[in-house]
Amino acid sequence: MLAEFCDFGSCLIGKIEIGDETRRVFVKQLKDVKDQADVQARAKLFENLKACDLILKVNLTSYHEKSFQAIYFQSTEGPLKWFLKRCQLRTNPSQRSTVTTEKLRRFTFQGAQALAYLSSNQIIHGDVAARNFVLDEFNENIILSDTIISVDLFPADYFEGRPIRWQAPECIETANHSSLSGDVWAFGIFVWELFSLEKTQAPYKDIDVLNISQYLSEGYRLVQPDGFPQLLWDLIGNSCWQYSSSKRKNIHQILQELERLQIR
């Protein structure tokens, strides 16, 4: 049973009692037939994967013949995006801070590992962003989650249901809103989110969402945040943000580069 909750529209956040154990959860109410079908198909896709500590699986329960709940178990910190908003980056040992460059480098590597695992199974995530990662109970590791609750928790990140500020140019411009190479582009945005610590609110925050496609076609990209390691920044720019999808490296190649740079 849900012990306590806060209401985010069709999404509840709170605690659930399972026997003697209390777990923090997000519960998405799925009353729309299309939502039910989409989530059930997505859950089935992830259900077929072998156990992986990098991927958070959804739990579906039916409480009425025409309605489902999608249950996501969370850490006490909730989405990584919330954690980043509370953080300051430690740039020297004397500073007090809640996050270090070393931890952000580890999160970068773990994010790449999760996407490489999905890619190996030919699964496109389609919405790689800090809002779709959660922290473990010790706030030391991140886990990739599915996308169904993000629109409820972070509506400002979406335009007409699409995360355009995180999407690759070809995904913005065509009906094909997601692809493996699009996930690689979004991974670069995710790493930028890590090191900007959400202090700039959104990618290209000064650019109207309707002008982002043209902005990218003219060669403009995100600005390097303070404290972002230069070698990692070069890797992201050269591997993730090539305008042509055919010129981007795949996530497995990026993972190898991260290991070579000892970013893990």
Res 10 pLDDT > 70: no
Q: In this predicted structure, what is the pLDDT of residue 38?
A: 73
Supply 82's token pair: 């919330």
Active-site annotation holder among 20, 127, 157, 226: 127
Res 76 pLDDT > 70: no
- Tell which residue, 162, 59, 56, 167, has the closest CA to residue 114: 56
Q: In this predicted structure, what is the pLDDT of residue 136?
A: 82
Model confidence band, residue 114 (pLDDT cutoffs 50, 70, 90) = very high
CATH architecture label of 2-74: 2-Layer Sandwich (3.30)
Topology of 80-260 in CATH? Transferase(Phosphotransferase); domain 1 (1.10.510)
Give tens-digit pLDDT for 46-68: 766 766 677 776 665 655 555 66
Annotated catalytic, 32? no
Total-model pTM: 0.86
Side chain identity at residue 189, one-letter code? I
Taken in order 139, 141, 146, 151, the sign of the CA dihedral is positive
- What percentage of the chain has pLDDT greater than the value 70? 76
DSSP string across 91-153: -STTS--SEEHHHHHHHHHHHHHHHHHHHHTT---S--SGGGEEE-TTSS-EEE--STTHHHH
Domain layout of the chain by residue ranges: 2-74, 80-260
Q: In this predicted structure, what is the pLDDT of residue 259?
A: 97
